[in-house]
Structure 1
Amino acid sequence: MFEQPPLWFIAIAFLLAIGPLVFFHELGHYWVARWFGVGAEQFSIGFGREIGGWTDKRGTRWKIGWLPLGGYVRFVGDMNPASQPDPAADVPDALRSTAFHLKPWWQRFLIVLAGPMANFLLAIAIFAGFFAVFGMPRTPAIVGQVQPGSVAQSIGLQPGDRIEAVAGQETESFEDMRRIVSLRPGEDVTIVVQRGGAQRSFQARLGEQVISDDFGQEYRIGLLGVLGSQRTLERLPALEIVPAAAGYTVALTRSMIDGLGQIITGQRSTEDLGGPLKMAQIAGQQASLGAFEFFQLIALFSINLGFINLLPVPMLDGGHLVFYAAEGLRRRPVSERAQEWAFRGGLALLMALLIFTTVNDLASFGLFERLGSLIG
């Protein structure tokens, strides 16, 4: 078991992980906005008071805020970093052609969508680099061994069976199968296998196990009880690397959707929700293991950032996308009053979620147990 890295190392690793992700996210907004002729007044990495920056020849202020938990691009005509239009602002005639909210709804839609897409593209680029250098993990989803006393043995799985789907999701590789199963401890699932040229379906309640990682953190995972063949790293032709990386990114995104759905439906505890403090701890841990693990974590964080921003919550990109899609369908903008109330509700929701996940993070660090022992 490894020792936890020091606090200063965790802080630096977190900044090195989250900073580039926020930059790429906002850069996606910025470049598509420039493509459509939208002017940018500010490009900020972090919130709060500026600790450094410069102004380019186009008049955009590039700056770094003291709170490194996000970022924003403030376009011409915006009232705030959330890109709400300023009803009191009188955009000069010389700038009207560059005002974000005077552009067609579909251009605004694409500008907002570009941020999350930039994060997905960054993850694809990182995975493509890994696959090009090391190869792609692609172990066939074929049962090599059935563990005695396991769920797999109880339902009659046999060595040589090819697992084609678990819980309605296709398993093209053993890695796919393991990822799907691990997210479903104690869950009833359908397992589809190919045996002797015929397809068979089995109903099973997956087992569960609490495991510890290299730093002593415990996780509850699902178990089927099968072993595959030896893991292989397959060298891909150059033209297949990017599509394979894209497919890998899609699979990981689907796992995140599964996990969120399980929390919403109560199948998974809300204690599994982590916030900025947990992200910082994980960043420090992975950085201490080496560059390979750290860059892999950056790719996962990037997918997470892109996915979260697509959720239809006001204040997030997904909330803006809902408004612009509604505007396209209704052929008129959503009323300013409705947007104002939606943004207030979205801000309240995000603040509540931040507080909740921070409490979860502190609990996972054992803070409350230590306080209880001191009081007792």
Structure 2
Amino acid sequence: MMDVMWSIAGFLVAIGVLVAFHEFGHYWVARRCGVKVLRFSIGFGKPLLTRRAADGVEWVVSAIPLGGYVKMLDSREAEVAEHERHLAFDQQPVRKRALIVAAGPVFNFILAVFFYWLIFVVGVEGMRPVIAAPAADSIAARAQLQAGDEILRLGGKDIATWEVLHTELIDQALNGESVIADVRTAAGATRQIELALQNARIDPAHLFDDLGLRPYDPPIAPVLESVLPGEAAERAGLQAGDRLLSVDGEPIASWQAWASWVRERAGAVVQLEFERQGQRLQREVIIGEVDSVGRFGASVAVSAEMWQDLRAEHRRGPVESVQAAMARTWQMSALTLKMMGRMVTGDVSVKNVSGPIQIAQVAGFSAQVGLVSFLGFLAIVSISLGVLNLLPVPMLDGGHLLFYAVEAVKGSPVSDQTMEMGARVGLLMLAGLMSLAFYNDIARLLS
């Protein structure tokens, strides 16, 4: 229940902030261009809160929190008094109309820069990009990477955390070329390796499987912290404090190795040797099963200090953070656009498209993790809104900009028939996109 509440709260805050700033961009530039604004609404549908300012602008919070709009004086929508015609949006030169329309997405990018600036100033915490043993015959294994290696640079860019490495690898994979990585071994020596990214699937769902890269997981001693009632461990008579030694004569090196071994042997009957208060004991264990996956039914004590050496914090000064934030926003904007293009060509699955349900879940999770995580989420969504709205699709800001570009070239506005046809096509495209997003969200929930 708490997760649901966090998701709803995170979603409402995210949409409220991002939509408000997007629409404020339209509003602010419209006022600077001498256009009369009638209404500023967060959400669609029935107004819930309304306030009319002294300048006549109606500020509204509406019932459906999936967007917003700025309504301006426009002679195409209602009759405009002669003395106010110069204040109408449609009476402005094409340059001003384009500036007003472009301001929304531009403000989304500005907001993303601000969020990243805050993140860099506060400091980014994460895990150092130290890798576990690569899967056999993976790209990393063929590059002779080994457990404990740390990737310091990729394609000449410094890599501070796994999050940065993740983004850079996706970005580099979209180029379809090999990339040089600087690596520090567990012994402290440095060397260069080549990752053949052209041999990997670029879809994020498969990329890291093909690469064989996953975070290094320090081995956890197989000492039981607790056993769950009615599960395999309790039925076999194991207790908290027992240290697992071997199974069917094979040594148990770590808790991770034991957990992996158990998952693949649902229903198996095995001989487990363990140590209890200095004594070696044996028990017959029948491995439990949940959805065809083996289950032991016990937890292990994990010390936070185990990962202390793997933690990294990346912080910059206020001035340096401005350039870093702008570079990060540019990179994520380009990456978003590339991913959209690869979805069109089929190289990236459309299953990566997320809708309100998935966004709400991620919003809630990131909000629970902490401020920096939530700010990073807001930055990504703000960039996505900016890129999406600039696509040359009728009904979106980019579609209007396309029509204005045509008008600037031909010297006259696009015909009403063309505008109407474009609006219908754009509406169908957006409806299809929203249907796909909702389908993906529901499919994720059911799976």
TM-score above 0.5, yes or no: yes
> Corresponding residue for 1:243?
323
Is the contact between residue 389 and residue 398 of structure 2 (CA under 8 Å) also seen in structure 1?
A: yes
Alpha-carbon offset, residue 240 of structure 1: 1.7
2:169 aligned with 1:181: yes
Letter in 1 for 2:94: W
203 and 45 in structure 1: CA distance in 2 versus 1, 3 angstrom threshold: closer
2:55 aligned with 1:58: yes
Is the contact between residue 22 and residue 71 of structure 1 (CA under 8 Å) also seen in structure 2?
A: yes
Query: Matches of 1:245 and 1:98 in 2, distance apart?
Result: 37
Alpha-carbon offset, residue 138 of structure 1: 12
Query: Matches of 2:49 and 2:180 in 1, distance apart?
Result: 58
Aligned length in residues? 341
Letter in 1 for 2:199: R
> Corresponding residue for 2:402?
322
Query: Matches of 1:308 and 1:50 in 2, distance apart?
Result: 26
Is the contact between residue 202 and residue 347 of structure 2 (CA under 8 Å) also seen in structure 1?
A: no
Is the contact between residue 32 and residue 111 of structure 1 (CA under 8 Å) also seen in structure 2?
A: yes
Aligned partner of residue 96 in structure 1, secondary structure: helix
269 and 77 in structure 1: CA distance in 2 versus 1, 3 angstrom threshold: same
Alpha-carbon offset, residue 225 of structure 1: 4.7
161 and 14 in structure 1: CA distance in 2 versus 1, 3 angstrom threshold: closer
Alpha-carbon offset, residue 353 of structure 1: 1.6
Unaligned ranges ≥5, structure 2: 183-189, 217-308
Letter in 1 for 2:140: A
Alpha-carbon offset, residue 230 of structure 1: 6.2
2:116 aligned with 1:127: yes
> Corresponding residue for 1:256?
336
Letter in 1 for 2:114: A
Alpha-carbon offset, residue 128 of structure 1: 0.6
1:38-62 CA-to-partner distances (Å, cap 9, x unmatched) read: 1101111000111111111121111
Aligned partner of residue 118 in structure 1, secondary structure: helix
TM-score by length of 2: 0.67
Aligned-pair RMSD on alpha carbons? 3.5
Query: Matches of 1:119 and 1:163 in 2, distance apart?
Result: 30
> Corresponding residue for 2:199?
205
Alpha-carbon offset, residue 8 of structure 1: 3.6
> Corresponding residue for 1:190?
177
TM-score by length of 1: 0.78
Which residue of 7, 19, 23 maps to 2:20? 23
Letter in 2 for 1:192: V
Aligned partner of residue 333 in structure 1, secondary structure: coil
Is the contact between residue 132 and residue 241 of structure 1 (CA under 8 Å) also seen in structure 2?
A: yes
Which residue of 205, 208, 226 maps to 1:222? 208
> Corresponding residue for 1:309?
389
Is the contact between residue 127 and residue 310 of structure 2 (CA under 8 Å) also seen in structure 1?
A: no
Which residue of 43, 48, 56 maps to 1:46? 43
> Corresponding residue for 2:140?
152
Letter in 1 for 2:111: L
Query: Matches of 1:271 and 1:123 in 2, distance apart?
Result: 25
Query: Matches of 1:277 and 1:300 in 2, distance apart?
Result: 16
Query: Matches of 2:198 and 2:144 in 1, distance apart?
Result: 10
- Pick which of 219-228 and 105-114 moved more: 219-228
> Corresponding residue for 1:81?
none
Alpha-carbon offset, residue 136 of structure 1: 8.9
Aligned partner of residue 355 in structure 1, secondary structure: helix
Alpha-carbon offset, residue 220 of structure 1: 4.3
Alignment of 1:287-298 (within 5 A): 287-298=367-378
Query: Matches of 2:113 and 2:365 in 1, distance apart?
Result: 23
Which residue of 89, 96, 104 maps to 1:107? 96
> Corresponding residue for 2:424?
344
31 and 176 in structure 1: CA distance in 2 versus 1, 3 angstrom threshold: same
Alignment of 1:269-288 (within 5 A): 269-288=349-368
8 and 178 in structure 1: CA distance in 2 versus 1, 3 angstrom threshold: closer
93 and 204 in structure 1: CA distance in 2 versus 1, 3 angstrom threshold: closer
- Pick which of 102-111 and 252-261 moved more: 252-261
Alpha-carbon offset, residue 258 of structure 1: 2.5
Is the contact between residue 5 and residue 284 of structure 1 (CA under 8 Å) also seen in structure 2?
A: no
1:122-154 CA-to-partner distances (Å, cap 9, x unmatched) read: 111111112112269898x9x999847441342
Query: Matches of 1:119 and 1:128 in 2, distance apart?
Result: 14
Query: Matches of 2:95 and 2:125 in 1, distance apart?
Result: 37
Query: Matches of 1:153 and 1:190 in 2, distance apart?
Result: 18
1:150-189 CA-to-partner distances (Å, cap 9, x unmatched) read: 4134246797998654xxxx7454665531434788x893
Is the contact between residue 108 and residue 385 of structure 2 (CA under 8 Å) also seen in structure 1?
A: yes
Task: Indicate the structure (1 or 2) with the bigger Cα radius of gyration.
Answer: 2
262 and 66 in structure 1: CA distance in 2 versus 1, 3 angstrom threshold: same
Query: Matches of 2:153 and 2:17 in 1, distance apart?
Result: 38
Unaligned ranges ≥5, structure 1: 79-84, 211-218, 370-376
136 and 270 in structure 1: CA distance in 2 versus 1, 3 angstrom threshold: same
292 and 197 in structure 1: CA distance in 2 versus 1, 3 angstrom threshold: closer
> Corresponding residue for 1:267?
347
Is the contact between residue 152 and residue 159 of structure 2 (CA under 8 Å) also seen in structure 1?
A: no
Query: Matches of 2:13 and 2:131 in 1, distance apart?
Result: 41
299 and 198 in structure 1: CA distance in 2 versus 1, 3 angstrom threshold: closer
Alpha-carbon offset, residue 301 of structure 1: 1.3
